[in-house]
Chain A
Amino acid sequence: MAEERRLLLRMEQIDKRFPGVHALDHVDFDLYEGEIHVLLGENGAGKSTLMKILSGAISRDSGRIWIGGREGLVEVSDLTPERTRALGIGMVYQELSLVPYLSVAENIFLGGLPRTRWGAVDWAQTYHRAWQRLQDLGVSIDPRAQVRELSVAEQQLTEIARVLESHPRILVLDEPTSALSDTERTRLFELIRRLRDRGVGIIYISHRLAEIPLIGDRVTVLRDGKRIATLPVTEVDEDRLIQMVVGRKLTEQYPWRNNVRGEALLRVENLSLPGVLRNVSFTLHEGEIVGVFGLMGAGQNELARALCGLEPRYTGRIFIANQLIHLRHPWDAIRQGVGLLPRDRRDGLVPLLPIPPNITLGQLCLGSPFRILNLRQEIQIANTYVERLHIHPPILNRPVFYLSGGNQQKVVLARWLCSNVRLLVLDDPTRGIDVGAKAEVFTLMEELSQRGVGILFVSSEMEELLAMANRILVLRQGQISAEYQRGEATEEDLLRSASYEKSNGGSR
């Protein structure tokens, strides 16, 4: 099979330095026609940088790039985003790059809207084609909807649809599945395989190791900007990969879970949100981790938001420590000792502030605006979490804007881990975080629960829920459709309870 395959891309000795960081250290990379090449590495290893060099978004310090065309490989020196698009390179960036105030369809055809004979925009055609593109991905998103109204998962899919619209020969997907649940992911994989069979070369970046045997052909591991290895996927197993990624053995992903359970901490009665949640009731105890699972749009994110004062129009009653509270603003929640890690991480960081103020941002609203900040303590806290979560590079006075995607996520996460919360609402806390740091996140969660903190753990990763949660609530169309105790459920159970086609009269 290999003898006939043509090279689509060759990158040789690519080198790139940022102030204080050697992001890429003479990296080689190549890609064949009809191949899915997985790029793997810790947060900050240089994956996105390598891909941005390929797309022309940033320039390399040295190194050569060849791109395959009809006449075989041609060396290209000056890459610009326009040039690479013309060369057939399609790129889905890690940070979404949609225009929030335009419609889904306009975003998909950005710059090249279908025209009528008279040169006017052909809206019927635009919406129709956008709809088809999205159908290819197996999602029904209204092409007329404004992008800023979409969930992160929907935005991610829209972004993919946009890149596919240009029919790339080389497709780069930088953590496309980080916000997707299993169902959407499965559909995306089917699409990716179809593209591969048509000869498209695909570079795929993800921190979810379980995905690699599902779709990868070859895998390249980067660490600290160096290429560690390139291997066929069939020759590696997960442990080996982890070892290559983090550079040492990593035995336990999940900490041993304690089963302490104290007083009732949070009691939710008949929580409803128009069109999203219906009569959700449950209790969460001190020291307990309650998992919440649901398919895209089942209401799990809104449940998390409501508990943090971000959905002021809820009805129903919420008690914290047996006290009825009204959550109209995030500060209502924070003053009650509730912390939220939001799903959309762009809502989390102030990009131009450095790490320490970003970590302590959640404590700003406690107390008078005129009080003096304790900058020294702030730096101490930052140092602790920089070390524990391996935030790299550990430069405390540089804007977080320059951190890699995963390291930014860690900063947001640290904000709530460090504050004195009683109740922590984590919406997908491990999204975009590498395997090593994931293990640390779980350890931190366990430590918090030992201290009596209650954790509501929303995740689309069933494996994580099954390993970490004392109980799992499954949401379906805004209602709790099942509840499982620890050890009771399997992934199949969760999926069955979450999907609608009905077993025992759960119809609306």
Chain B
Amino acid sequence: MKKKASPLKQQPMMSPPMARPRFNPETLRRWAVQMGALLALLLLVGYLSLASPHFLTPGNIANVARQTAVTTILAAGQTFVILSGGIDLSVAATAGLSASVAAVLMTSQVWILGVPIGPVPFGVGMIIAMLVGLLVGLLNGLIITKGRIPDFIATLGTLTTMRGIALLVTGGLPVPSHLTATELRGYLPPELIWMGAGDVFGIPVAGLIALGVIVVGWCILRYTAFGRAIYAVGGNREAARVSGINIDRTKIMVYMLSGLLAALAGMVLTGRLNSANALMGEGEELRSIAATVIGGANLFGGQGSLLGTLIGALVIGVLGNGLNLLNVSAFWQRVIQGLVIIGVVIFDQWRRRRFGA
């Protein structure tokens, strides 16, 4: 008897792998996943263009882009974390801390261990902010993986801690304040202001930065081993472990990325406001989570996309802007924003159950 090839191979398969059309039902279905948020966004834009003559003006659009930029950058980091099955409540606090530290160093001279430092130029300030962000992320990651503390608790802890440290660093004053502004150089570097409030060819720089973050992040998620590992860890931890993926390292890297983006967001915000303060961006952590969830991500991990998150951030940003234009009172704004978040997510859940996601 000679080595027999399996009889199965000799015959054509019963159902040959059907010629796969480029556009199969699955592609449609995946588009539908983002539909909830997209629909909300389109409705919102449509309504506001009719309701307010100011909404579709170039000035206002730039304004929306600038306001949404910070939420988008934070939400991008949050999306990485949520995809990996975690949650990062400390993003806004990290933004505040890194911006505060950088702002203090850029506007005044401080003595550290007897060495006078600062005022540092923009580039150095930027690097310092990023390092602070990475450090907080590393801390979060280590507490969660090595200390085996749930993500929610760990980042809640760092949230408070980082706000405290930021208050210590700034003395509770805005930076630059009337105190520091008189010393030495005293003012924030113009590049920073440009980052937050300037534009190129009429396009807000902050918006471009946010867009860049989304594009780069999307590539990381789709094309790198790290991005794939995030989906695996968030989608099924056991499978990731058995497949040899270093879960701890992946999680730590994800939190560091989130910290890094938080620092970037903090700098953009500082530029826009022309000042940093320890408590800046309060509430942004929840908005970043909301944007991610509106964008179709699963809070248990493993499912979601940065494209969805961008749409989610826009929904929140456009809504806030529109309510301002329509002179809705600040109290009602909160109520409406909350209801919209709930509404979009309910619609999303219903659609997934109905059509399968």
A residues near B (Cβ < 8 Å) are 18-20, 224, 246-252, 255-256, 258, 308-310, 329-331, 333-335, 340, 342, 346-353, 357, 361-362, 364-365, 367-373, 375, 383, 386-388, 390, 392, 394-398, 402, 415, 436, 439-440, 442-443
Complexed CA–CA distance, A392 and B41 (Å)? 38
Question: Is the CB–CB distance between B244 and A346 below 8 Å?
Answer: no
Complexed CA–CA distance, A364 and B226 (Å)? 8
CB distance from B166 to the nearest CB of A (A): 31
* Interface 1/0 per residue, B206-239 and A, CB below 8 Å: 0000000000000000011110110110011011
CB distance from A57 to the nearest CB of B (A): 13
Name 20 A/B residue pairs within 8 A (Cβ), A-sorted: A19-B29, A247-B14, A248-B14, A252-B4, A256-B2, A308-B242, A310-B242, A330-B242, A333-B244, A340-B242, A353-B231, A361-B240, A364-B229, A369-B250, A370-B226, A372-B223, A390-B8, A392-B15, A439-B6, A440-B9
Q: Looking at A258, A329, A353, A402, which has the most chain B CB atoms within 10 Å of its CB?
A: A353
B8: chain A residues within 8 A (beta carbon):
250, 390, 436, 439-440
In the complex, which of the residues A256, A346, A361 contacts B4, with contact meaning CB atoms closer than 8 Å? A256
Question: Is the CB–CB distance between B232 and A369 below 8 Å?
Answer: no
Question: Is the CB–CB distance between B225 and A367 below 8 Å?
Answer: yes
Complexed CA–CA distance, A41 and B103 (Å)? 69
Query: For the complex, is B57 an interface residue (Cβ under 8 Å from A)?
Result: no
> How many residues on chain B are close to A (CB under 8 Å)?
48
Question: Is the CB–CB distance between B244 and A364 below 8 Å?
Answer: yes
CB distance from B263 to the nearest CB of A (A): 20
Question: Is the CB–CB distance between A350 and B231 below 8 Å?
Answer: yes
B residues near A (Cβ < 8 Å) are 1-9, 11, 13-15, 17-18, 20, 24-27, 29-30, 223-226, 228-229, 231-232, 235-236, 238-246, 249-250, 253, 298, 302-303, 356
Complexed CA–CA distance, A425 and B18 (Å)? 33
Known: A252-B4, A331-B245, A365-B243. 12 other contacts (CB 8 A): A19-B29, A249-B7, A251-B7, A256-B3, A334-B244, A348-B242, A351-B235, A352-B303, A370-B224, A397-B24, A397-B26, A397-B27
B303: chain A residues within 8 A (beta carbon):
352
Complexed CA–CA distance, A317 and B19 (Å)? 51
A19: chain B residues within 8 A (beta carbon):
25-26, 29, 356
B27: chain A residues within 8 A (beta carbon):
397
Given contacts A361-B239, A369-B249, A395-B26, whether A252 and B7 have CB atoms under 8 Å apart is yes
In the complex, which of the residues B232, B235, B238 contacts A364, with contact meaning CB atoms closer than 8 Å? B232
CB distance from A300 to the nearest CB of B (A): 17
Given contacts A348-B242, A364-B244, whether A248 and B11 have CB atoms under 8 Å apart is yes
Complexed CA–CA distance, A371 and B228 (Å)? 11
A368: chain B residues within 8 A (beta carbon):
225
Complexed CA–CA distance, A364 and B231 (Å)? 12
Given contacts A346-B238, A365-B246, whether A256 and B231 have CB atoms under 8 Å apart is no
CB distance from A380 to the nearest CB of B (A): 13
Q: Looking at B8, B14, B250, B298, which has the most chain A CB atoms within 10 Å of its CB?
A: B8
A329: chain B residues within 8 A (beta carbon):
244, 246
Given contacts A364-B244, A394-B18, whether A255 and B229 have CB atoms under 8 Å apart is no
Complexed CA–CA distance, A365 and B249 (Å)? 11
Question: Is the CB–CB distance between B3 and A224 below 8 Å?
Answer: no
Name B250's closest neighbour in chain A (CB-CB): A369
Q: Looking at A334, A350, A367, which has the most chain B CB atoms within 10 Å of its CB?
A: A350
Complexed CA–CA distance, A248 and B10 (Å)? 12
B11: chain A residues within 8 A (beta carbon):
248
CB distance from B219 to the nearest CB of A (A): 9
Question: Is the CB–CB distance between B3 and A347 below 8 Å?
Answer: no
Complexed CA–CA distance, A21 and B225 (Å)? 32
A246: chain B residues within 8 A (beta carbon):
14
Question: Is the CB–CB distance between B356 and A373 below 8 Å?
Answer: no
Question: Is the CB–CB distance between A352 and B225 below 8 Å?
Answer: no
Question: Is the CB–CB distance between B239 and A347 below 8 Å?
Answer: yes
Given contacts A256-B1, A386-B17, whether A331 and B246 have CB atoms under 8 Å apart is yes
A361: chain B residues within 8 A (beta carbon):
232, 239-240, 243, 245
A397: chain B residues within 8 A (beta carbon):
24, 26-27, 30
